[in-house]
Amino acid sequence: MMIRIIVVALLLASAGATENITGEFIATNEWQIIAKGQAIPKGLHVRINLQTGLKEAKLIDENERGTSLQEKREDENESLGLDYKPDIIEESLRKVKEQKQQKKQNYAELKKAYNEFQKNFRTDGELIVELLKQYRNFSKTPIESELKLKMDTLENLEYLLHQIDNALVFIDKAGLDDVLLPIVVNETNVPLRISAMRVLGSVTSNNPKAQIKVFEKNFGSHLAQILMSSTNSGELSAALHAFGSLLRKFPLAQQRILSTSGTQALIRVLRSSQVELRTKAKVITIISDLVQEKRSVLESAGSQEVPDGTSAMAQYVLLEFESWLETHGYCSTMDNVLTKDFLHLIEQPEIVEQLSMTLDTTENICHPLWSESSGLRHALLTIRNRYVHSKDEYRLELSQILTKICEKLFNKAAKHTEL
Ligand SMILES: *[C@@H]1O[C@H](CO)[C@@H](O)[C@H](O)[C@H]1NC(C)=O
Ligand SMILES: *[C@@H]1O[C@H](CO)[C@@H](O)[C@H](O)[C@H]1NC(C)=O
Ligand SMILES: *[C@@H]1O[C@H](CO)[C@@H](O)[C@H](O)[C@H]1NC(C)=O
Ligand SMILES: *[C@@H]1O[C@H](CO)[C@@H](O)[C@H](O)[C@H]1NC(C)=O
């Protein structure tokens, strides 16, 4: 199988011009191997042959025009230096994964080809600086024709900034102020906002230094604002991902953001009748993770000598997420979600799993209300009873988890009624 990664070599001329090792590359209509370090003219099609791992190039065929990358070249002649399309690579990786045979071999080839590819273009850092330059060059007022270019730039950033060092370069070069903040705060185009929040999620996930910078720029309350007002599921998902990544393992941010609008925003999403269950499940997971995070930090502190983590510990102690949840109506909101939607839930066991975990994690907060709720009891028992006879192991396992929750909440009731 050959996966072709087609790119337009806009940057090659400037990036590789000094490495004229093997003479000029004469492009034709046929694919030809590009020697290592060989400079090639601008505007060619370049691909990686994944069987050989070699780069090849040819002239752009007239009837190949119309792909997005070439359009860019047409529209923007030099200004757009995007020299590759990471999502194509990711898509390829995904397809490769699906093939059970040769899986490992193909993956290794892809990875090798990708590394080779990167090496021959520029470093990630240079690429990020280039992307930022391009972004700053867009007009200040929104122009329809620039939309796709902006989206592409953001998509490339999202891919690159998963890496911790890359994210820090982006922040160091004022990417938060110049690109993300204006979009998240002022942009009216929803797809652009979604892309920007994906980039933000990419920047903050598992990256403590980046989390601090993003927090200092007040993204937490901007995201909460979006969670308070949006009904678009794509937008909510992107916002939730960024919100969760910003808050995880960052007790100070949790304290500041969740004590103000943050908790309310999460519960608002759960409460909205216009938001689908899948999106609500994301909220539920964030809530459960944050409640558990504090507990496990405090537990681990109790079981050993506290080393120098005392200040983080103090921040967790001050964090009262559980009581903010209660104040903002979390218990009755969860009760409502289950009572109203349990029939839809039956068909979505992954969401049932997330819900069950969260019910279990937060049962101590909501016990008084939940244990008296006949609607909740009916919902949980119905799902449990439906799964208990399933031939599917996953559902069977869920039925056991649900039984335990019901026993905690309703004591004997679970065993003797509605079976
Ligand atoms: C590259 O090498 C070829 C052949 O050696 C030479 O004719 C050409 O001028 C060189 N180009 C550059 C940019 O140095
Ligand atoms: C790009 O296109 C514009 C007009 O569309 C033109 O003025 C400019 O010279 C072109 N730049 C290059 C480098 O070709
Ligand atoms: C941005 O625009 C300036 C002037 O308009 C130009 O000199 C510069 O080359 C452009 N940069 C990029 C990356 O397009
Ligand atoms: C958002 O727009 C307002 C009004 O135009 C402006 O004052 C503000 O600086 C903008 N904020 C950002 C982050 O771009």
Q: Best substitution site from 185, 217, 218 to test ligand 4's pocket, by max atoms within 8 Å of Cβ?
A: 185
Relative to the CA of 78, which ligand 2 atom is closest?
13
The residue among 303, 330, 357 that closes a domain is 330
Task: Kindly give, in sequence order, each residue whose CB lies less than 8 Å from that of residue 174, ignoring residues fewer than 6 positions away.
Answer: 132
Distance 182 CA to ligand 4 centre (A): 7
Domain membership of residue 401 as a residue range: 343-419
Closest CA to 69 of 57, 83, 79: 83
Inform me whether the pLDDT recorded for 218 exceeds 70.
Answer: yes
As a whole number, the mean pLDDT across the chain is 80
Q: Are residues 203 and 241 in the same domain?
A: yes
The DSSP secondary structure of 127-190, one letter per residue, reads HHHHHHHHHHHS-SS--GGGHHHHHHHHHHHHHHTTSHHHHHHHHHTTHIIIIIHHHHHH---H
Please state at what angle helix 263-271 crosses helix 330-346, rounded to 10 degrees.
Answer: 40
In the chain, pLDDT over 90 holds for what percent of residues?
Answer: 55
Give the model confidence (pLDDT) of 387-405 as tens digits: 999 999 999 999 999 999 9
Inform me whether the pLDDT recorded for 265 exceeds 80.
Answer: yes
Query: By the 8 A CB rule, do 196 and 183 touch?
Result: yes
Q: Are residues 287 and 144 in the same domain?
A: yes
The span from the CA of 146 to the CA of 76, in Å, is 10
- In whole angstroms, how far apart are CA 140 and each of 80, 148, 151, 183, 219? 17, 15, 15, 11, 21
229 within ligand 3 shell (Cβ under 6 A): no
Relative to the CA of 181, which ligand 4 atom is closest?
13
The span from the CA of 385 to the CA of 380, in Å, is 8
What is the enclosing helix (H) or strand (E) of 55? strand 54-58
CA-nearest residue for atom 7, ligand 4, is 186
Distance 101 CA to ligand 4 centre (A): 53
Q: Which ligand is nearest to the CA of 14?
A: 1
Q: Are residues 352 and 273 in the same domain?
A: no
Q: Are residues 161 and 295 in the same domain?
A: yes
Give the model confidence (pLDDT) of 28-82 as tens digits: 888 888 877 777 777 777 776 655 666 778 887 655 443 333 333 333 333 222 3
Q: How many residues does the chain have?
A: 419
Give the model confidence (pLDDT) of 353-384 as tens digits: 999 999 999 999 999 999 999 999 999 999 99
What phi and psi, each to the nearest 5 degrees, are found at residue 55?
-90, 140
Domains: count for the chain:
3
> What pLDDT sits at residue 143?
82
Residues lining ligand 4, Cβ inside 6 A? 181-182, 185-186
